[in-house]
Structure 1
Amino acid sequence: MTIVKNLIIFVSLIIKIVSSEDTVESLENVINKAVQDSLNYVVPTDARRYKPKNTTIKDYGSYDFVIIGGGTTGSVIASRLSEEKNFTVLVLEAGEFANDGVLKIPKYAFTGWRSDYNWGFKSIPQTTACLGVVNNQCVYPRGRGVGGTTLMNGLIYDRGSPEIYNIYARHVGDDSWSYDNILKYFKKSENFHWTNPKAPVDLDYHGKGGLLDVQQQVPDIRLNELFLQANRELGIPIKDYNGREHLGGTIVQIYTRNGRRLDAGTAFVKPFLNRRNLKVLTSSYVTKIVFNERKVAESVIFTNRGNIYRVKASKEVILSAGSVSSPQILMLSGIGPRKHLKKLGIKVLEDLEVGTKFLDQPGTKNFMFTSTYPSSTQTLKQQIQDFLNGTGILTSATISQGDSFLRMLYKNRGLSDLEVICDLGSPGELDVKTVGWKNETYQELWGKNKLAVSFSLRHLYPISVGTIRLKSSDPYDYPLIDPNYLSDEKNEDIEVLYQGLQLVFRLAETPAFRKINMTYASGPLSACKEHPFKSKKYWYCFLRQVSLTAAHPVATCSMGRSRHSGAVVDSELRVFGVKGLRVADASVLPKLIDGHTAVPCIMIGEKISDTIKKRYTRRG
């Protein structure tokens, strides 16, 4: 009864709080325009839009803390540091604040991948993955705006396995990174609502009263029930994956408020913009961190609306530009691999392995099955009406919310290595443009299937290692991203995904899914025609064709005990060899989270804010 009562209260609040300015007609226009704009969008290939017309450097004053990047972690740090009235905080963000348009509608926020809210990065051409994409270049979505990639991601609230944090603690020799010690930071930021009584939840591991609302989609759909029952029939337990254990089948938790996307900027920054000691300067592109003769980070050079400025940091510069841009800015500032910097004519300040270890999760989307599962008869107008009441399919990035975190190959690591997401639907024109599928790949796999039960796979803990390198010493050139997916010599990474495909076939054959007569929908892929259809060699070839990024990169500014181990920052995220500079974002994580990265990034922001506060408030 308590759960049902709380659900009624929560939904009633949703109905009261929804903006009176939104109507079915206005949101229908917003959606249609956003889809068309996204289809027509020209994706940038560099950052020259930020190049100043006036090259005379102007003074922008001094702040105690200058935060480079108002993304997921940067938003949290800005919010928490500005709680101290004696601190002055400046956030330099290249993008803008998200408006209340289509990005707030979870189901359509992927239109943001082809908009000014995405940097538009692509990998260099790959040889072992992304082969079904134009030029073999994986698209690499990275958020550009206050809130970062939480502006346009899949919204899944996922901390990863407790054990991964114990691994971090041992790796850096600092027990403050153990799960028992960082759980309080996850709970601090969270405001959990148990909106689906059927979803497994362990309330002891969730927070209440934080700035980030977390819930399950309302209402639940039958496909979730079928997916969880199929998991049970294969012996997979059903659990709260953010509880004591990460492994098992589940209904995902998502960070939405009133059915709307709750990006980090909206949750942590917007409510506090009236603080006199906090300034968020958008359209600000950082080109360099400047150090004095004692190697203290004393100022930051940035452009803003045609001009170039220098702002001083009296206490610290905090670099929070993400796993792609943080290493780029460090290297442009003279901190990075000596050989690489000298080759580009950049004066070397510190020889550190910046960008040398780039870890990310490969996966595949839309492994599709036809079925007798009924299609929705709702019109877009009806879906929008539900959305205005905080319910329905528009309130989630995926129609279904079934998910499993599994251990396939690495049985002794205590971590999950495979994620299986169950959804409904098939790629359309916008998906083709967003990912950049080759036409023949799209037509052969998905062109004839408009409605299907689909599965997405992610290898959560691969061993293949890539790099981030500068293209040139020009700060307006995009960096060279080489994820190097599925490249390990023993084929362990692709084997995990292959075993995932076999698991999906077993799920389809369970009594639960036989109720809807699931049948694999796609025929042979011509790029793999030399292999017998559905043979192991065929599936290996298939996976190299359809593999994509999960967009959860880490380790490019890795945390560790010393620079001699290849680390860039210590356990308090201070850059080795210099003073007054920290890096705080996913780039500091030395190993992959066996899950999604947005929520760990929020935790990093909470943790490092406490560390900084303790240091400077102790001084008085």
Structure 2
Amino acid sequence: MYSRGNKEDYNHWASLGNIGWTHEELLPYFKKSEFAKFDVDIEPQYHGFSGPQTIDVAEDTPGLTELFLDAAKELGAIQLDYNGKSQNGTSRVQAYLKGNVRSGTSQAYVRPAQDRPNFHLQLNCLVTKIVIKNSTAVGIRFIRNGKLYSVKAKKEVIVSAGAVNTPQLLMLSGIGPRRELEKHGIKPVAFLPVGQYLQDHPIFPGMVFRTNQVYYNTSFEQQVNDFCENKRPLTAGWGFQCVTYITLDNKPNRRPDIELLTIGPPAMSPAWGAVLQYNEEYAAAFQILNPLTDFMNTLLLLNPFSRGEVTLKSKNAADLVQINPNFFSDKRDLQIMYRGIEKALQLMHTKAYKNFKAEWLRIPMPGCDEAFEYFSKEWWICIVKHLSVPCFHPIGTARMGPSPNISVVDNELKVHGICGLRVVDASIMPTHISGHPNAAVVVIAEKASDLIKRDYENNKPDCRR
């Protein structure tokens, strides 16, 4: 999904002391990375048309896509380009979509560069440590096929391992919270809040409807033929139909609180609960789903107050880290999610839903059905706690900021107190964005590339000389 977030997300980053990170300063990078191929509801001045990643809109599911748009508009949402001037409204989903497959960063950036003489790619490697001498990153160590290797850095080391593995690697290299390094007997290099301030988007997939229509009840052969013509249902997109960004206090220029994402057939299969890795009892509850008739309204909490952490299990790089998203530890998040549910429930009473005979599908909720009155606030909060899962949008574990007391990197993504070491991934985001982080991560990388080139274009001496 291609959702840049709200311009105030980035202005907020800048207000925290991160000079150079306003939306106005980042918009050229969004445009640089994008090849906008769609024309529905597009505001061209906010998009790029020559970048490496193709952004497109999947074909409509006949009758169904328009239903979702009409229902949202009945409730006052404006149909718009949510990556344009204003985000608050409803739209078809813009996606990383090139023909019938995902337009990923590997396809767009890595493969075109793989034959360059100054580019060397090693697969199936596990980086175990950043080598730091005299507060300067001088290389890395990694394991490949059971053998330990070392690589020296001529200028600097760039870590792009993501919001989970980047903090692990930094801590294994001696950069992290004092208590975490001491706990695992790691020699400290710099005490920084690595792994702290973790944020993710909780997503609540508990609002399912059943229509009296049947979709994509065709042979596999026919679906493959449709795929070759860039048609649903096998085209990349996972059943995403429409997205609505909701600001609960109805102020037009404020960051939205909730993303309402509608997922249509055939994504709603009986395996849904297993896909989300619910326990056996809850996974069984979703087996009543019918992939030919059912759709789901999912709610994503965009700007959570709760903070989690990533910590080490041991000082062995092969051991997975411990991730505590700490969802709903701040009770304000639950209240915002419930208010979003109240808003989404209004869709049931729209003419669009009634004309389409879209009916609520009651799914058994063990632990909640017997404890609370069905559809009461207490019941909803109970199932939100039981069903909400990470959207796999982790950020913030090596957050950017001017103070080493509450951040890990500065506004040039350089690790505080360590020469020759940058972090370039979602972990540097100081707070979450009101959208999916894919596009923002690409922009972080594009901006980092310019920062690096600027540092060395005039043979600027670095701190190791």
2:237 aligned to which of 397, 400, 405: 397
Counting only pairs closer than 5 Å after superposition, residues 176-575 of structure 1 correspond to structure 2 as: 176-194=20-38, 199-219=40-60, 221-292=62-133, 294-365=134-205, 367-408=207-248, 414-425=254-265, 427-428=268-269, 430-447=271-288, 449-450=290-291, 451-488=293-330, 491-528=331-368, 529-564=370-405, 566-575=406-415
**Letter aligned with residue 542 of structure 1:** I
2:243 partner SS? strand
How many residues are aligned here? Answer: 457
2:444 aligned to which of 579, 587, 604: 604
1:614 aligned to which of 441, 450, 454: 454
Question: Quick one: distance in 1 between partners of 2:252 and 2:237?
Answer: 33
1:280 partner SS? coil
- 2:130–2:141: 8 Å Cα contact kept in structure 1? yes
Question: Quick one: distance in 2 between partners of 1:389 and 1:465?
Answer: 44
**Letter aligned with residue 558 of structure 1:** R
Distance 1:540 1:366, change over 3 A: closer
Deviation digits for residues 195-232 of structure 1, max 9, x if unmatched?
A: 5xxx3110110001110011111355321111111111
1:329 partner SS? helix
Counting only pairs closer than 5 Å after superposition, residues 66-215 of structure 1 correspond to structure 2 as: 156-174=1-19, 176-194=20-38, 199-215=40-56
- 1:366–1:427: 8 Å Cα contact kept in structure 2? no
Instruction: Tell me which residue corresponds to 1:587.
Output: 427
Question: Quick one: distance in 1 between partners of 2:360 and 2:61?
Answer: 25
**Letter aligned with residue 473 of structure 1:** K
- 1:172–1:570: 8 Å Cα contact kept in structure 2? no
Shift of the alpha carbon at 1:412? 9.5
**Letter aligned with residue 345 of structure 2:** F
Distance 1:391 1:509, change over 3 A: same
Shift of the alpha carbon at 1:378? 2.1
- 2:88–2:252: 8 Å Cα contact kept in structure 1? no
Instruction: Tell me which residue corresponds to 2:463.
Output: none
Question: Quick one: distance in 2 between partners of 1:615 and 1:534?
Answer: 58
- 1:172–1:560: 8 Å Cα contact kept in structure 2? yes
Shift of the alpha carbon at 1:445? 4.3
**Letter aligned with residue 458 of structure 1:** L
Distance 1:410 1:250, change over 3 A: closer
2:207 partner SS? strand
1:374 partner SS? coil
Distance 1:384 1:567, change over 3 A: same
Shift of the alpha carbon at 1:433? 3.5
- 1:409–1:496: 8 Å Cα contact kept in structure 2? no
Shift of the alpha carbon at 1:518? 1.8
Unaligned runs of at least 5 residues, structure 2: 461-465
Deviation digits for residues 529-563 of structure 1, max 9, x if unmatched?
A: 11111100000001111100111111100100121
1:562 partner SS? coil
- 1:328–1:479: 8 Å Cα contact kept in structure 2? yes
- 1:323–1:553: 8 Å Cα contact kept in structure 2? yes
* Worse-superposed segment, 248-257 or 386-395: 386-395
Question: Quick one: distance in 2 between partners of 1:219 and 1:368?
Answer: 20
- 2:210–2:358: 8 Å Cα contact kept in structure 1? yes
TM-score between the two structures when normalised by the length of structure 1: 0.71
2:234 partner SS? helix
- 2:18–2:410: 8 Å Cα contact kept in structure 1? no
Question: Quick one: distance in 1 between partners of 2:3 and 2:305?
Answer: 21
- 2:137–2:418: 8 Å Cα contact kept in structure 1? yes
Question: Quick one: distance in 1 between partners of 2:403 and 2:274?
Answer: 43
Shift of the alpha carbon at 1:500? 2.1
Question: Quick one: distance in 2 between partners of 1:254 and 1:159?
Answer: 11
Deviation digits for residues 500-531 of structure 1, max 9, x if unmatched?
A: 22222211210111111122111452311111
Shift of the alpha carbon at 1:588? 0.3
**Letter aligned with residue 13 of structure 2:** Y
Question: Quick one: distance in 2 between partners of 1:526 and 1:280?
Answer: 49
Question: Quick one: distance in 2 between partners of 1:496 and 1:440?
Answer: 27
1:404 partner SS? strand
Shift of the alpha carbon at 1:333? 0.2
Deviation digits for residues 387-406 of structure 1, max 9, x if unmatched?
A: 11222221132334211111
Unaligned runs of at least 5 residues, structure 1: 1-155
More helix by share: 1
1:563 partner SS? coil
Distance 1:404 1:446, change over 3 A: farther
Shift of the alpha carbon at 1:449? 4.3
Percent same amino acid at aligned positions? 34
Question: Quick one: distance in 2 between partners of 1:332 and 1:430?
Answer: 38
Distance 1:248 1:177, change over 3 A: same
2:333 partner SS? helix
**Letter aligned with residue 194 of structure 1:** F
* Worse-superposed segment, 552-561 or 404-413: 404-413
Distance 1:315 1:256, change over 3 A: same
Question: Quick one: distance in 2 between partners of 1:547 and 1:584?
Answer: 29
Deviation digits for residues 563-614 of structure 1, max 9, x if unmatched?
A: 13x1100000000011000001000000001110011000001000011011
- 1:190–1:207: 8 Å Cα contact kept in structure 2? yes
TM-score between the two structures when normalised by the length of structure 2: 0.94
